[in-house]
Amino acid sequence: MDAVHTQVDLVRLEVKLLRSKDQKIVQREVAYLRELRYGKRAPAADDGPQQFIFDAPRPERDMP
């Protein structure tokens, strides 16, 4: 990474990518920067509620 950094201004490159006319590139870079800053993102709110199955059969190892 250090070798690349000596040859390329990574900040200038990132700004160029964020100014791209291709919205997929812009969205990907924003997501990448957000992940760098805040870590893995939480699931989106539109994923719906988490489903719990209470009557699912248990594995045999848990049987008495």
d(CA 9, CA 40): 26
Q: What is the pLDDT of residues 15-42, one digit of tens each?
A: 999 999 999 999 999 999 988 888 875 5
pLDDT at 47: 59
- What is d(CA 45, CA 26) in angstroms, rounded to the nearest whole number? 22
d(CA 64, CA 61): 8
Give the global pTM. Answer: 0.53
